[in-house]
Structure formats: structure tokens, C-alpha cells
């Protein structure tokens, strides 16, 4: 007896019908909605640093990217609590908690540019000319090739 896999379903169908996926998708939509409501009450500069993590039993947990923004938001906590209570989604909000969690994805760090003067490049090239090891010589020649062109 051969095993026949079930026919593939479209992702939209899976999200509507599969109970575990439906629950996860519903929770993600709810958090997205709460995030939009929160963003409407935050200062524009703070929006990218503050994200809704959970909402249960009257407590709103917000993830903040660094301690600086957490401190600023704690100073505004009472005002933010009052403003969020105006929304029916936050009707039983009793407290706002802040947790500092740096982003897991590193923001693209600008690579170090090598500024090498022409004199330094000439010295490195002269050193490379006197080296008999081919690997070391090639590495020194590549380094000397990074010389900054004269203006």
C-alpha cells in the first residue's frame, strides 16, 4: 500500500482552517492591532523603540529597545495609561510594564573603511617586494592596493 500525501493547500486556507495556525494568526493580528493603537499614542520618535509583547489580566507588557527609551516611557507611563484607557481594547488596563530587550538583529554596522596614505602604501609594497612567501606577499600587495588616491 503506497502512501499518498494530502494535496497541498494555499497558505490563506491553512490560516483559516488549521486550528493551531488559526490561533497563532489571530493572536498576531490582535497584537498588531494593539501595536497600532499604542503607536497612535506614542511620540513619533518612540514608536520604533517600543513594541507590544503581551496583553493579559490588565497588564500591558511593552518591549523597549534600550534603557534610555524605557526611562523616557516610564516618565510618561501615567499619561500613556490614561490615553490607552480611552480605547475599548484597553478597558481593563491597570498597569504598563516595560522590559528592555535589545533588537536581536544587529543594525547594519558600517564597515571600517581603510584610509591608507600613498606613502604607507608605497612602504607596504616595498616590503612585499622583499618577501619570498607567496601568500604573505599577495596579502601585503592587496593591502597596498587600498591606498587613498591623491586629490
- For the chain, domains (ranges, CATH) are 11-100 (3.30.300.180), 109-150 (no CATH)
**Res 39: pLDDT:** 95
Residue 18 C-alpha cell reads as 488549521
Mean pLDDT of 99-106: 84
Mean pLDDT of 117-137: 89
Q: CA-CA distance, 53 to 35, in Å (whole number)?
A: 9
Whether this prediction's pTM lies above 0.85 is answered by no
Residues 89/41, Cβ–Cβ less than 8 Å: no
15 to 1, 54, 63, 106: CA distances (angstroms): 32, 21, 27, 31
Residue 54 C-alpha cell reads as 503581551
Q: Is 35 helix (H, G, I), strand (E, B) or coil?
A: helix
- Mean pLDDT (the chain) is 87
Q: CA-CA distance, 19 to 78, in Å (whole number)?
A: 38
Amino acid at each position: 500500500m503506497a502512501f499518498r500525501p494530502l494535496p497541498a493547500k494555499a497558505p490563506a486556507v491553512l490560516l483559516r482552517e488549521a486550528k493551531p495556525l488559526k490561533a497563532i494568526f489571530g493572536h498576531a493580528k490582535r497584537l498588531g492591532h494593539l501595536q497600532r493603537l499604542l503607536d497612535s499614542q506614542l511620540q513619533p520618535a518612540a514608536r520604533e523603540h517600543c513594541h507590544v509583547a503581551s496583553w493579559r489580566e490588565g497588564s500591558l507588557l511593552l518591549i523597549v529597545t534600550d534603557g534610555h527609551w524605557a526611562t523616557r516611557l516610564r516618565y510618561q507611563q501615567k499619561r500613556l495609561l490614561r490615553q490607552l484607557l480611552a480605547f475599548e481594547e484597553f478597558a481593563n488596563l491597570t498597569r504598563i510594564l516595560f522590559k528592555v530587550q535589545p533588537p536581536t538583529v544587529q543594525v547594519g554596522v558600517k564597515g571600517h573603511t581603510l584610509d591608507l596614505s600613498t606613502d604607507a602604501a608605497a612602504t607596504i609594497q616595498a616590503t612585499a617586494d622583499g618577501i619570498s612567501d607567496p601568500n604573505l606577499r599577495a596579502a601585503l600587495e592587496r593591502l597596498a592596493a587600498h591606498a587613498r588616491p591623491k586629490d
